[in-house]
Every structure is written in structure tokens, then in C-alpha cells.
């Protein structure tokens, strides 16, 4: 069954928290939406920690990758974290195209909030959580623990099946 899990990560141990979460993922395909660090950084980071990333498909919306470097076969590049339409298109393509057990990891809601209005992100999260749930995709949303008092995190807690800390 497709679940939605919200992880609140301590900003001081962000990468170790991220590693713990990623190492616990069991799926045929992991869709990794990153607004936090670029595809190239994460690619090297996971490889250096011994992860086999052949099952990872990235959506890099950091907007920091140069155009000539955007030919990575397992990554779709979105030009800005503000471009929620392109992020939705990319998620949609993956939701419809990929068969088997899929997990989507959004890294992170806190970064998207830096670039977008909280209300817009609230609607966007609501849309994609429901869309992914209907497509049978489990969703993991990362957010900073320090954002816990924000209204949107509370709203997201109500949409999630589980809320964990890492």
C-alpha cells in the first residue's frame, strides 16, 4: 500500500539522517526529487557511501546545473525550485511510466519553502501526495525539524500516514 511519510530532520545531522532514510528504502525504483543539493553532488555522495544508485531516478530542481551538464541519463533537470509546473510534469511522467514498487523522496520541503509561497507549496504537496497515492507510489517528504512550527508542516502532518524524526 502506498504510504506518505513525513521525516523531520535535525539540520545539524542532515546528511546522516538522509543516509539512514535512503538506506531503509525498499523499492524497485526510487524517484529522488532534490531541491537541496544538485544531482551531481548526490550521485557522488551516494556512490561514495556504497549505494547502488542504478534504481534511482533524480529530478534535480536546484537550478544550479549548467545546461551542457544536463545530459545525465537518470536525471531530469528543472531550471528552478520555483518551477512547480515542470516538477509536476516530471513526477507525472515517472508516476505513469515506471512499473513496480516505487518510492518518491522529496528533499526537501524546507528548501521549496525558501523559493515559494507556503500556500502554493501546501497546494502543490496536497496535489502530488494524492496523485502519487492514486498511482500506488509511496511518498517520503523531508523537512527540517526547525520548521516544525510552520503552518504548512502541521497541514502536511495531517496528510501523512506517519511522522518520523531522523
Partner 1 sequence: MSYLEIAFSIIGYLTFLLLVLAAIFSYNLFRFNKKEVSWLSIYLAMISLLIFQFFIFEETYKHDFFGIEKKPLYYVLFLVSSFMLAWGFWSMNKSFEKFEVFGEVARRKVKNFLDGLNKEEKPLKTEKSKLRK
# residues near partner 1 by CB under 8 A: 27
Whose CA is closest to 145, among 135, 133, 134, 153? 153
Cα–Cα distance, 142 to 161 (Å, whole number): 14
Kind plus residue range of the DSSP H or E element containing 130:
helix 118-134
Using CB under 8 A, pick the residue from 1, 66, 67, 97 that binds partner 1.
97
Whose CA is closest to 21, among 59, 2, 49, 54? 49
Q: Find cell 545525465 and name the residue.
A: 72
61 binds partner 1 (CB under 8 A): no
Shortest distance (Å) from residue 26 CB to partner 1 = 7
Using CB under 8 A, pick the residue from 98, 159, 163, 166 that binds partner 1.
98
Whose CA is closest to 135, among 109, 157, 102, 88? 102
Cα–Cα distance, 116 to 163 (Å, whole number): 23
Which one, 86 or 157, has the nearer CB to partner 1? 86
Using CB under 8 A, pick the residue from 1, 12, 26, 68 that binds partner 1.
26
76 binds partner 1 (CB under 8 A): yes
Using CB under 8 A, pick the residue from 93, 119, 151, 162 that binds partner 1.
93
Binding positions for partner 1, rule: CB under 8 A: 23, 25-30, 49-52, 54-55, 57, 73-76, 85-86, 89-90, 93-94, 97-99
Amino acid at each position: 500500500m502506498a504510504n506518505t511519510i513525513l521525516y523531520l530532520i535535525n539540520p545539524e545531522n542532515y546528511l546522516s539522517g538522509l543516509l539512514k532514510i535512503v538506506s531503509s528504502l525498499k523499492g524497485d525504483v526510487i524517484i529522488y526529487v532534490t531541491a537541496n543539493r544538485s544531482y551531481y553532488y548526490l550521485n557522488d555522495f551516494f556512490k561514495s557511501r556504497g549505494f547502488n544508485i542504478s534504481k534511482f531516478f533524480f529530478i534535480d530542481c536546484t537550478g544550479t546545473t549548467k545546461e551542457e551538464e544536463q545530459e545525465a541519463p537518470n536525471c531530469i533537470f528543472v531550471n528552478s525550485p520555483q518551477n512547480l509546473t515542470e516538477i509536476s510534469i516530471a513526477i507525472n511522467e515517472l508516476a505513469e511510466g515506471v512499473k513496480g514498487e516505487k518510492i518518491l523522496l522529496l528533499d526537501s520541503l524546507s528548501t521549496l519553502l525558501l523559493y515559494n509561497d507556503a500556500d502554493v507549496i501546501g497546494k502543490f504537496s496536497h496535489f502530488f501526495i494524492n496523485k502519487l497515492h492514486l498511482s500506488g507510489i509511496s511518498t517520503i517528504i523531508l523537512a527540517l525539524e526547525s520548521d516544525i512550527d510552520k503552518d504548512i508542516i502541521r497541514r502536511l502532518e495531517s496528510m501523512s500516514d506517519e511522522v518520523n524524526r531522523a
